[in-house]
Amino acid sequence: MVQEHLQESKPSQTDHFSYKVRFFLALKTRDMCQVKTLVEKDPGLIHAQTERGVASEAYYLPFGSTARHWASATGDEPLLTFLLSCGADMNVKDPWGTTPLHLSASTAWAGCSMERESPSTDYRG
């Protein structure tokens, strides 16, 4: 009975919001096991964008950033490889027109995304 009431009272009738929050926390802590588990449950997370800025000890990404932006900015090759294997587009832009490729090039991680490029990658932005 309590479980039913909680289910009816939650802000979203799907688990997407809670998965999205846990997904971005897992990215931040580099918890690949959790990232993979969440993507298996909700494949749309590959395309999820932040609704607020995301920061770690050394990085800040503005709202509208994706997991691909995070992986490229932080040089997280295992994450980037996983995202690309799931069909992630490296040409996706944040609200300011920055792509993951731009981030990896500007943060000295150019080898990270350049070596893992997809056939449709366009380096011109």
Q: Where are the domains of the chain?
A: 2-114
CA–CA separation, 79 vs 35, rounded Å?
Answer: 9
Tokens (6 digits) for 69: 């932006």
Helix (H) or strand (E) segment spanning residue 104 = helix 100-106
Architecture of the domain made up of 2-114: Alpha Horseshoe (1.25)
Predicted local distance difference test score (pLDDT) of residue 36: 96
Predicted local distance difference test score (pLDDT) of residue 43: 92
Tokens (6 digits) for 64: 């509208």
Q: pLDDT tens string for the chain (125 positions)?
A: 566 655 665 655 567 788 888 998 898 888 999 999 999 999 999 888 877 655 555 555 656 788 888 888 888 889 989 998 998 888 888 888 888 877 777 765 545 544 444 444 443 34
Given a contact cutoff of 8 angstroms between Cβ atoms, the answer to whether 81 and 116 are in contact is: yes
CA–CA separation, 106 vs 1, rounded Å?
Answer: 54
- For residues 51, 66, 48 and 83, what is the CA-based torsion angle, rounded to 10 degrees? -160
Whole-prediction pTM = 0.67
Predicted local distance difference test score (pLDDT) of residue 27: 86
CA–CA separation, 16 vs 36, rounded Å?
Answer: 15
